Structures are given as structure tokens and as C-alpha cells.
């Protein structure tokens, strides 16, 4: 009620403004009242007071490092970036035909994808509200295309339900929804909920349940009503009408546990419209790095970070120059190295920052990309993009959101697992991993066996540059350490997804980077 | 139970096949059993026994006519197409800058869209299961891109609810779902539904409602649980966690009636993944027509159709040649002229076909496309594609599903109405229609007033080539007339969306065309 009253007041005020100043003024006022939902990105910090020519050493050429370098350089700083990999982008990475990848333990895989095919082993989708990412994509002309998160025609699969036969998302969705709405309507009609709803709303609610739940006039979920949503046994054609399908038995839907996969797509993190960069996730880092290449030194493994009151000294191994130890100095430092790696680098950061770095564990995940000779999921099964979820070890299958209907090969994300579920794969040789992936995969797409072409896999805890997938904070570690690691420590400021409240997402890396350079510039400009 | 038993048997059989012949055989068997959901498209009919050189006159160069011409010509027939318009495609049409359109009554509009912008005044989206359409798109190399049907960040709007403030789809969706699931959980916990669910399933159902409805451990829908789906008051950022939003009051959601707009996107007709041709809906007819241009005569108004035992004689007015009356003859005829127009053309079709033609009424609809100077829906409101529904006369707003994030102008479908709701617009001058459209539009997007550039509208019952939008069958007219109009009448066979069970969709036109030429070829090859 308090909110209601507040809203009423705001609306009255808006009405007044609207009446006197026209629509556009009304719009501006709505913005001011926060009634239009904005993201947490409010543009890059204002660095106009930057001490021109001051030097900043940036560790890491992932998105956090690149955004920091771009904005600092634009403001007048002199920047230098060191990165461990022989490419920019960090986890914003795409594997293409000809690429080689060597993981910890020594396995080297060569990617054999056809021209134009790729796998994003790291981040692979951009929520529409990640406006920091989308801002830079737009600024650097990186073309974005929809990432098909939800596909009602993709499968939900439980080996122990429905005889192991995959069900279409639309079937489980419609049937779960229909049966539960039928139950609720029944309860309302039996007057069981009269203490919770007014008599007036009762009729309206029943009407709404009928509409939303696809119930008939007797509030029953049937094949006739449900087929409009779950799909028909035979669709309408030139000479005949559609023939209804038969809904799944409610007990079977419940015990299948497949309902647990319905909700993810409606989570604001995955809500429509999601995006991906056309041609691979490395497009944005490559675009930002384009004018920074002379400031970036790749294949540089940082082994020591030392700061004093005058500046920062970083020792690194130049892996492109016979593993020589070299030194780089600067007045300031932005360090985006993942804590999993940073914890192992000698440094003289303050005790409390070190404690924070040590406290953050890193998640792991496993992804396998498989190229098939033809896009059988489209041609045979009418699945265009989207995700199939399964209880099999591969966890999920994601079909490509680009090159729809093309006649050539296609790369599918054939396994995506987290935590201990990923170890079953990563403990194996790359060849054995693919064999295990395909063992599962054919249970959902039998024709995949014939269509298999080649594949590649990435286990993130075996990635030498990150030793994990992303920083895993708990409520306790947040409480105890986050302020320390996100506050500039003398001349070094930390950045990256792990120094944000949006871990695992590129948006976290970007927003954390902007916050880091804001702090750095505040310090540097007061010098 | 009968179905269960049948399924069990099929599965056992499949298991046997799978065990002996491997995955691919299993897959083929699944296809044979119809367990993989296919559309009603099974390829073009086999016309190999066509009497080479036989002549077919095709009336109409829309999709039905073009597909008929393409397949018949490929089989060896000699085809000729007459079309009323000065372009191919019929209702599969795109308006671009420079185009002129004159409607019945004499109003001429000139389209002033910028280069690369267009409006599809007719069909504008392709369901993934319209495999006939997608087959020809693929065959003719027409590039397809996702059509964003559902956008959880678009609006639902009722002038009389929430003070006239548009709500985000995600808010209404989550809150309606949360509140109804809370009610159902309450009823179950009060043991009201014990006769409908087993004790064992009760726990599972409660768990499922908690997950699906975003309920807390006490089965309450709250800001903490709901914000993951409805969106946060403040999203997480670099230095702070997300702050929950407050769900709408259930009574307000119910009385807003906005729940009635939730379900459309889950209807199999609009289910993900939908598509549109890159660059406009006229791309497919243009591609099919490319090799047929010498067989197509445009600007030809048919005024009489006469058939006897030897052939068909069609009289038409050549509007490109001083309105001269001319005659075209052929052995056979495929007539795709909409019944609304055909009913007014002199013909000697049989009585029962004439009766069918007269019995089908035509729906009307109104679409207005407005070009805005910038894509404010994306820039200001984070709406990328998708549809806003409103109780205002404009009915809905659809944001473009292409050129996302571009800095130039964009064309929005600013009004889309059917039936009598479209007359309020079409009765006005084109200028007045746009004024009325904008009056409504700014109530949802106030900044549209400043950003308006130009616009164009199409009222289908004023379209001289169709006199309506699509054929409106009723159960009674279907029963009485469909067989007659869809069965070849001596030497003339009718085709088009109106001669199918998928009216209004291009898929109906294509499937009806394939059925028509199958009948024609059966007759012709027996000659």
C-alpha cells in the first residue's frame, strides 16, 4: 500500500508534467524517476582531469584490460599491456580451424573446423541488459546477432523418463502448465481459495487460467486445447485440418523432473533478446585491440608484481623471446589477472588484498564443440538454435545461432558442464573426451554418429591462463574480502569479472574495469 | 493407457532395431514411426510423368502462382503467368523508399524510407515448422534471419491499468505466474487437492511449483525470488549486488487484463524459432521469379475465365498497354486469384465452385510502418525486436528484428489491427492515419514524437489486388464448400492460402499450390 500511494503520487506528478510540457518532457521525467529500466552501465567514467602522459601498466588483455587501456589512453595516459596468451581476448575467445590449444598437462589439440565455423569455449551470449558490453560493441562496430537461448522445439531429456525419449520443450512446458492450471482452477471452483481471492476476482482469475493454461470450458487441459501450444499430432495442411496430439500424463511429467529445465530461459540473465557477436566472441577484444597493438605485448608471463610509493615494477617471462626475464615499470597498474593465477604470483600487495585473492575459489567448466558434416538438427528435427537439456553427462547441447539453413557443416556445443561434472571429461585424453561426448550425444541425436566430423574441448581448470572458469564468491567471502580487493591498493587496482557482482559475465569485467580506472584516475589526478 | 501401451510396444521394437543396427537405423525407424515431428510438407509432388510441352496458364504471381510455375516448368510444362500488380509476390510484399502505392479510393502514398529500410505490409514472419516455405527459401538461396517474436523486455500496455504506464512483459509474466503458483501451492498445502494428486507426487509438485513459480521456501512469491525473473530494481554492478524489485499486486495484474497477452508467444504458430527473410518478404518471390520473368506478364487484370473440354481462355486488360483487352489460352489453368476478387470475375466454373468462392469472406487488416530518426526503443529502452501489445487502437508495435544497434534510422510496425478495428484507420487519409497512429504511439514511447520521420500504411480491404487480407473460413463454409473449391474443376484448379487449412500463412499458399499441381498433373498425364 505504501508503494501504491507513492506510485499514485508519482503518476499524478507525471500527469501534470505531461499536461504542461508534452510527451518528450514526460519521457525525460520518467527517466529521472527511474521508471524506465536501465542497466548499471552509465558510460565510461569522466577522466578529463587525467594527468596526461602518466604511465599505466595493464596486466591482461582480456576485456577488462582492453577496456581499461582504451579508456585510459583516450584520456591521455600512456598504457602498456602484458598478456600471458599469444592472442588478445582472454576468455573471450573463439576456436577456429587451424588453431592449436595446449592445456595444462600437455595435451595439444588442433582445431579442424571448416572455414567460417567456430566454438566460443568461454562466454558465448550477451544479455540485452549488459549495456556496458553492448556499448563497446556498438562503439567498435562489432556486429551483433540474436543468440537463440530458448527454442521451444529443442529437447528436454531424462534417460529415465519417457523410455529415454527426448521430449520437446513445448510439450513439457505446455503440459506442466496445463495440468497445474487445471488443478488450480479446480481448487478455485471448489471454493477452497475463497479466503485468498475476492469474489469479483474469482471469475477473472478463472478466465485467466483458462487462457494461460490452455484449458477448455470445463477448465480441463486437453489435447484439443493443449495442441495449440504443445504442437499437433499432424499439423494442418493443404487439404486437412490439424489433428490434436495427446498431452503427457501429469504424473509422468512430474516424475520426469524435466520441469526443472523450464525456467532458466525466463531468468533475467537469459531473457530475450540475447545476442552474440557475428563470427565469434573474440570479435570485440580484437576490435578494441586493433589500435592498441603497439601497446600490447603478448606471450608475457608475469612472475612478480612490486610496488612502492613511486611506481610499480612487474617482472615477466617473455615466452616469445627465449623465456627471458624482463621488467616493465609504470606509475600505476591495473591488474586483471584471475585470482587463481594471481595467488601464485609473487607480489607485495597489502595483506588484506592478498587474503582476498586467496579466498576466492575458481569454478571450472568443460565445453566440447563438435563439427558435423551437415546441420541434421535443422534438416531432420527442425531445431534452429537453442538448447537441449539432458541428464546425460554432456549436460546440454546448444545448436548454432547463425548460418541457419546453410548446406555446409555446422559446429554444435555438444557438452557444457560445470564443477565436478566436468572432471569426468577433463580427466580423459582429448580423443576420449570426444568419444564420451558422442556416446551421450547419439542418445539424443542418433544420426550424429554418421555425421560426426571433428571436435575440440576446453576444460577451464586446465587452461594455463586462468586455471578455472570464473571467480566463485560466497556470501561469506564477499562480506569479508570484496571491499578490500575492489579498492585500489596504493598504486595497483584489480579488475575483471572476479572483482564485480556480475561474476562469470563479460559485463562484470567491463564494469569492474571502469570502476578500477575511475579509482586510478582519482588517485593519479590528485598526485 | 492405450497410448501408453502402444508407446511401450513401439519403444521395445525400437530398442531391438537399435541393438542390431546401430544409431542411424534407429533414427530412420523413428522417422518412419512419426516420432520426430515433421511438418505437412513432404516435398514437391512427383511430376515425372508430365506431358512435356502441355501449356498451363497461371493466374497470380504470388507464392502459390510462382511455386506452381516453377515446379510445372521444371517438370516440362510450358507456363505463362498473369498478375494484376506491376510486381511479383502478391501479399509477400515489401515497401521501400521510392515505392508508390495506390489503394482503392485513389489515395497514393509514396514511401520515403531510407536506404535499406522496409515494411512488410503483408506476411512478416515464418514459423519454424512451415517447412514448405523454408524449403523454397533454402532452394533459392534466400537468407533467413530470426524474427524476434517474444521479447520479455517489450511492453504490455492497458490505458486503464497501472496509471496507463506500460509494463514489461517479464514483469506481468513473472508476477502472474508467481501469484498463481503461490495460490496452487497454498491449496495443496491445505490438502485441498488430495483427491487429485498422490501423496508421493505432492512433494514433487510442491518442489516444481517452487521452482517454476519462483516461490520462496514458504511457497510465497516475493521480490527476492521474483526479481530473478521480473527483473531487479537495480541490477548488480561492479561494486554492489542487485536490489530486488517489488512484484505487482495480484489484483492489479488480474484486473489489468494484461495476462491475456502472455500466451500468444507460446502458441505453436508463433513458437521459437521464427524467421524472416533478410531484406524483406519479397525476397523469395523475387528469387523464384528470377528465371521465370519471360513467362510472367505483369499489370494484367483478368476479366473473364472460360474453359471448355479443350482448354482455358482468359481475357484480361493489359494495363501496361493502354488497357487493351487481350486473350491468353492454355490447356490447363491454375487460378490463385483471391476469392474476394475472383467472385467478381466473369467465369464459367461449375456452380458448386462458384458457390464456394462466394461463400468465403475476406478478413481485413491495417498495418502502418513508421520510420524514426534513431532506434530509441533500443537506445533508451533496451527493446531489441519483439512486440508490444496495447489496448490502444494501434493494437501492437513490432520493433525491427534486423540491423540491431545500428546508428541510423529504423522502421517500426507502429500499428497492426484486424477487422473492424482497422476501419478506424483506413477510413482516414493516409496523413490522418499516421497522425492517429502517432497519437497512440507516443503514449507508449513519448520520445517518438521528436523522432518521427515518415510513415506509410496499408489497409488490406482497400488493396485492389486482394480486396482483403486472407480467406476467412468458418466451420460451416469449410464443411459445405472446401472440397469443391479445392478439387480441380475440369481444366481449372484453384490455389492460394484460401484453398488450404493454413489460411493467412504463406505456407498455406505453397502447400495448396503443390496440391493443385498434383491434381493438374494427374489429369494432364492421363489425357
Domain range annotation of chain A = 1-28, 55-89+283-362+468-525, 95-153+272-281+365-462, 168-256
What kind and span of H or E run contains A324? strand A324-330
The phi, psi pair for B436, rounded to 5°, reads -65, -40
Bridge partner residues of B80 (DSSP): B57
Q: Enumerate long-range contacts of A481-484, CB under 8 Å, 24 or more apart.
A: A481/A352, A481/A355, A481/A356, A481/A359, A481/A360, A482/A356, A484/A352, A484/A353, A484/A355, A484/A356
- The CATH fold assigned to B55-89+283-360+471-525 is FAD/NAD(P)-binding domain (3.50.50)
Cα-atom radius of gyration of chain B, to the nearest Å?
27
Q: Which of A22-36, A106-120, B280-294 has the lowest mean pLDDT?
A: A22-36
C-alpha torsion sign, points A410, A415, A418, A424: negative
Give CA angle at B507 (B503, B512), nearest 5°: 75
- Of A272, A268, A284, A281, give the one whose Cα is nearest residue A369: A281
Provide the pLDDT for residue B527. 59
Question: Contact A447/B23, CB-based, under 8 Å?
Answer: yes
Cα-atom radius of gyration of chain A, to the nearest Å?
27
Residue environment code for B166-189, b if the CB has 16+ CB neighbours within 10 A, otherwise e: bbbbbbbbbbbbbbbbbbbbbbbe
Question: Contact A192/B196, CB-based, under 8 Å?
Answer: no
Class of domain A95-153+272-281+365-462: alpha beta
Q: Which of residues 389-448 of A touch B (CB under 8 A)?
A: 401, 404-405, 407, 442, 445-448
A128 vs A269: CA distance, rounded Å: 9
B218 vs B181: CA distance, rounded Å: 12
Q: Does B239 touch chain A (CB under 8 A)?
A: yes
- Å from A375 to nearest chain B CA? 13
- Å from A422 to nearest chain B CA? 25
Record the cell numbers describing residue B272, joined without a space: 521459437
Q: Which of B134, B180, B212 sits opposite A184 (nearest CB)?
A: B180
Nearest-CA residue of chain B relative to A513?
B238
Distances (CA, A) of B55 to B74, B75, B177, B295: 13, 12, 59, 12
B327 vs B349: CA distance, rounded Å: 18
Query: Best mutation site among B71, B157, B186, B235 for testing chain A: the one with the most A CBs within 10 Å?
Result: B235
Could you tell me which residue, A33 or A244, shows the higher pLDDT? Answer: A244
Give CA angle at B388 (B384, B394), nearest 5°: 130
Each residue's pLDDT tens digit, B425-462? 999 999 999 999 999 999 999 999 999 999 999 999 99
Provide the pLDDT for residue A411. 98
- The CATH fold assigned to B95-153+272-279+365-462 is Polyamine Oxidase; Chain A, domain 2 (3.90.660)
Provide the pLDDT for residue B6. 41
Q: Which of A230, A254, A271 sits opposite B208 (nearest CB)?
A: A254
Each residue's pLDDT tens digit, A192-201? 999 999 888 9
Record the cell numbers describing residue B127, joined without a space: 514459423
Query: Which residues of A are less than 8 Å from B4 in CB distance?
Result: 249
- Of B86, B115, B133, give the one whose Cα is nearest residue B514: B133
Give CA angle at A256 (A251, A261), nearest 5°: 120
Q: Does A139 touch chain B (CB under 8 A)?
A: no
User: Is A168-256 a domain of CATH 3.40.50.1820?
Assistant: no
Q: Which of residues 61-90 of A touch B (CB under 8 A)?
A: none
pLDDT band at residue A527 under the 50/70/90 scheme: low
Residue numbers of chain B with a pLDDT score lower than 50: 1-37
Question: Contact A152/B272, CB-based, under 8 Å?
Answer: yes
Provide the pLDDT for residue A38. 52
DSSP symbols for B376-400: HHHHTT---S-EEEESSTT-EEE--
Provide the pLDDT for residue B111. 98
Give CA angle at A131 (A129, A135), nearest 5°: 150
The residue whose grid cell reads 491495417 is B366
Domain A55-89+283-362+468-525 maps to which CATH number in 3.50.50.60, 3.10.20.30, 3.40.50.300, 1.10.1420.10? 3.50.50.60
Helix H segments across A365-490? 376-379, 420-426, 430-444, 448-451, 475-477, 483-485
The phi, psi pair for B272, rounded to 5°, reads -70, 145
A426 vs B144: CA distance, rounded Å: 37
**B369 and B121 Cβ atoms separated by less than 8 Å:** yes
What kind and span of H or E run contains B108? strand B108-110
- Of A275, A450, A294, give the one whose Cα is nearest residue A380: A450
Question: Contact A405/B144, CB-based, under 8 Å?
Answer: yes
Query: Best mutation site among A9, A125, A273 for testing chain B: the one with the most B CBs within 10 Å?
Result: A273
Record the cell numbers describing residue B71, joined without a space: 515446379
Nearest-CA residue of chain A relative to B497?
A238
**A26 and A18 Cβ atoms separated by less than 8 Å:** yes
Query: Which residues of B are less than 8 Å from A271 in CB distance?
Result: 152-153, 170
Query: Which residues of B are less than 8 Å from A243 in CB distance?
Result: none
Provide the pLDDT for residue B16. 37
Is pLDDT of A24 > 80? no
Bridge partner residues of B168 (DSSP): B155
Q: Does B212 touch chain A (CB under 8 A)?
A: yes
Q: Does A477 touch chain B (CB under 8 A)?
A: no
Provide the pLDDT for residue B38. 52
Do A95-153+272-281+365-462 and A168-256 come out as alike in CATH topology? no
Residues contacting residue A173 through CB under 8 Å, at least 6 positions apart: A152, A229, A230, A262, B266
Query: Which residues of B are less than 8 Å from A44 in CB distance?
Result: none
Query: Which residues of B are less than 8 Å from A138 in CB distance?
Result: 405, 407
- CATH architecture observed for domain B168-245: Up-down Bundle (1.20)
Query: Which residues of B are less than 8 Å from A515 in CB distance?
Result: 238-239
Nearest-CA residue of chain B relative to A211?
B260
Is pLDDT of A28 > 60? no
Model ipTM value:
0.91
Provide the pLDDT for residue A421. 87
Query: Which residues of A are less than 8 Å from B380 in CB distance?
Result: 27, 31, 36
Provide the pLDDT for residue A39. 63
Bridge partner residues of B146 (DSSP): B275
Question: Contact B382/A22, CB-based, under 8 Å?
Answer: no
The residue whose grid cell reads 506491376 is B86
**Phi/psi class of residue B320: alpha, beta or left (left: φ > 0; alpha: ψ in -120 to 50)?**
alpha
Provide the pLDDT for residue A179. 97
Query: Which residues of B are less than 8 Å from A33 in CB distance?
Result: none
Provide the pLDDT for residue B246. 97
Nearest-CA residue of chain B relative to A500?
B238
- Å from B270 to nearest chain A CA? 9
Each residue's pLDDT tens digit, A343-389? 999 999 999 999 999 999 998 899 999 999 999 999 999 999 999 99
Provide the pLDDT for residue B420. 86
Nearest-CA residue of chain B relative to A516?
B238
Each residue's pLDDT tens digit, A464-511? 999 999 999 999 999 999 999 999 999 999 999 999 999 999 999 999
Q: What is the DSSP letter of A40?
A: S
Q: Which of A27-41, A43-57, B18-32, B327-341 has the lowest mean pLDDT?
A: B18-32
Is pLDDT of A117 > 60? yes
Amino acid at each position: 500500500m505504501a508503494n501504491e500511494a507513492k506510485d499514485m503520487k508519482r503518476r499524478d506528478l507525471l500527469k501534470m508534467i505531461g499536461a504542461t510540457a508534452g510527451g518528450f518532457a514526460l519521457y525525460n521525467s520518467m527517466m529521472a524517476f527511474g521508471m524506465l529500466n536501465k542497466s548499471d552501465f552509465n558510460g565510461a567514467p569522466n577522466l578529463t582531469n587525467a594527468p596526461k602522459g602518466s604511465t599505466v601498466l595493464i596486466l591482461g588483455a582480456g576485456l577488462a584490460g582492453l577496456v581499461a587501456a582504451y579508456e585510459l589512453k583516450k584520456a591521455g595516459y600512456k598504457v602498456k599491456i602484458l598478456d600471458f596468451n599469444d592472442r588478445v581476448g582472454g576468455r573471450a575467445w573463439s576456436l577456429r580451424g587451424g588453431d592449436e590449444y595446449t592445456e595444462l598437462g600437455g595435451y595439444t589439440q588442433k582445431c579442424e573446423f571448416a572455414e567460417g565455423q567456430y566454438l566460443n569455449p568461454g562466454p558465448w551470449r550477451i544479455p540485452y541488459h549488459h549495456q556496458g558490453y553492448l556499448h563497446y560493441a556498438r562503439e567498435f562496430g562489432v556486429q551483433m546477432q540474436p543468440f537463440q537461448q530458448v527454442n521451444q522445439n529443442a529437447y528436454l531429456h531424462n534417460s529415465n523418463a519417457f523410455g529415454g525419449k527426448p521430449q520437446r520443450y513445448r510439450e513439457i512446458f505446455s503440459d506442466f502448465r496445463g495440468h497445474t492450471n487445471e488443478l488450480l482452477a479446480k481448487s478455485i471452483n471448489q471454493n477452497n481459495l475463497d479466503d485468498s481471492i475476492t469474489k469479483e476476482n474469482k471469475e477473472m482469475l478463472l478466465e485467466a487460467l483458462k487462457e494461460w493454461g490452455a484449458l477448455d470450458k470445463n477448465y480441463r487441459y486437453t489435447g484439443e486445447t493443449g495442441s495449440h501450444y504443445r504442437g499437433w499430432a499432424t499439423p494442418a495442411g493443404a487439404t486437412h485440418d490439424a489433428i490434436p496430439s495427446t498431452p503427457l500424463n501429469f504424473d509422468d511429467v512430474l516424475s520426469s523432473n524435466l520441469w526443472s529445465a523450464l525456467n532458466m530461459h525466463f531468468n533475467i540473465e537469459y531473457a530475450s533478446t540475447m545476442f552474440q557477436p557475428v563470427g565469434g566472441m573474440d570479435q570485440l577484444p580484437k576490435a578494441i585491440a586493433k589500435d592498441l597493438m603497439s601497446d600490447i605485448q603478448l606471450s608475457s608471463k608475469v612472475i612478480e608484481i612490486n610496488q612502492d610509493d613511486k611506481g610499480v615494477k612487474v617482472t615477466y617471462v617473455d615466452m616469445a623471446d627465449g623465456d627471458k626475464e624482463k621488467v616493465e615499470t609504470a606509475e600505476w597498474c591495473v591488474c586483471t589477472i584471475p585470482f587463481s593465477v594471481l595467488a601464485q604470483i609473487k607480489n607485495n600487495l597489502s595483506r588484506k588484498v592478498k587474503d582476498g585473492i586467496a579466498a576466492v575459489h575458481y569454478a571450472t567448466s568443460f565445453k566440447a564443440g563438435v563439427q558435423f558434416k551437415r546441420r541434421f538438427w535443422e534438416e531432420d528435427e527442425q531445431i534452429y538454435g537453442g538448447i537441449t537439456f539432458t541428464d546425460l553427462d554432456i549436460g546440454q547441447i546448444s545448436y548454432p545461432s547463425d548460418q541457419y539453413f546453410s548446406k555446409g557443416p555446422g559446429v554444435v556445443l555438444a557438452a557444457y558442464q560445470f564443477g565436478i561434472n566436468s572432471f569426468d571429461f577433463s580427466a580423459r585424453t582429448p580423443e576420449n573426451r570426444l568419444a564420451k561426448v558422442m556416446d551421450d550425444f547419439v542418445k539424443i541425436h542418433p544420426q550424429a554418429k554418421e555425421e560426426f566430423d571433428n571436435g575440440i574441448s576446453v576444460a577451464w581448470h586446465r587452461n594455463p591462463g586462468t586455471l578455472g572458469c570464473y571467480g566463485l564468491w560466497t556470501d561469506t567471502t564477499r562480506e569479508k574480502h570484496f571491499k578490500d580487493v575492489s579498492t585500489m591498493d596504493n598504486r595497483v587496482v584489480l579488475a575483471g569479472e572476479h572483482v564485480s557482482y556480475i561474476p562469470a559475465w563479460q559485463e562484470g569485467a567491463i564494469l569492474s574495469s571502469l570502476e578500477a580506472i575511475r579509482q586510478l584516475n582519482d588517485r593519479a589526478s590528485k598526485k
